[in-house]
Structure 1
Amino acid sequence: MIKSELVQIVAAKNPHLYHRDVENIVNAVLDEITDALAGGNRVELRGFGAFSVKNRPSRSGRNPRTGDSVFVEEKWVPFFKTGKELRERLNPDLADEDDDED
């Protein structure tokens, strides 16, 4: 799914809102998540998952085309960990087994 598809789905479920308003809302949510991650914060959406930023230290890598050794600089990368509800919806058979253990 791409952002424009998400906007269309949300607009269809909320016919009382203008399409441009839905687009502004989706953009605002994504911008806030991005700004929080850029600030080094963690963003948790209960039931969906948590976004965070992880550090990848510098390392020696390899150019796959030539096989030459190259230096890869340190960088920060976004990381997403799924929430329990999302995992259960993706794996309904496993959720039933977890309920049996309780």
Structure 2
Amino acid sequence: MNKLELVERLRQATDLGRAQAQQVVDIFFTSMADALAKGDRVEVRGLCSFFVKEYKAYTGRNPKTGAKVPIKPKRLPFFKVGKELKARVDENCSE
């Protein structure tokens, strides 16, 4: 499912118009991105959580030349699946 499909599902499930549904989805994702940019944790109970991991600076190597390369500190977003989502996905698994 992509963002446009999510907007369409929201529109069908409510009495919102397409533009209003698009605005709700945009607000939701913008708010999540803003919170992560500030370093806050975003949690949707039963579904998932998003958080930011911070990495310190270190010295890496260029695999081509073997030269040492300084790597700057960085922050990366991470996703952690919730128990309910994990169980729901697993129950639909047929091996």
With the shorter chain as reference, the TM-score category is 0.7 to 0.9
- After superposing on structure 2, the runs of 4+ consecutive aligned residues of structure 1 that deviate more than 6 Å are none
Matches within 5 A, 1:10-21: 10-14=10-14, 16-21=15-20
Please list, as runs of the form range in 1=range in 2, the aligned pairs for 1:63-78 lying within 5 A after superposition.
63=62, 68-78=67-77
Q: What is the match of residue 23 of structure 1?
A: 22
Cα deviation code 1:30-78 (max 9, x no counterpart): 1111111122211110011111111022223344566554322111111
| Percent identity of paired positions between Structure 1 and Structure 2 | 40
The residue identity in structure 2 corresponding to 1:45 is V
Q: What TM-score comes out, normalization by structure 2 length? A: 0.80
Gap runs ≥5 in structure 1: 94-102
Q: CA RMSD in A?
A: 2.2
1:45 maps to 2:66: no
Distance in 1, Cα, partners of 2:12 & 2:65: 50
**2 CA distance for matches of 1:74 and 1:84?**
32
Give the gaps of 5 or more residues in structure 2. Answer: none
> Counting helix residues as a fraction of each chain, which structure ranks higher?
1
Matched residue count: 93
Equivalent-residue separation in structure 2 for 1:24 and 1:9 (angstroms): 14
TM-score (norm 1): 0.76
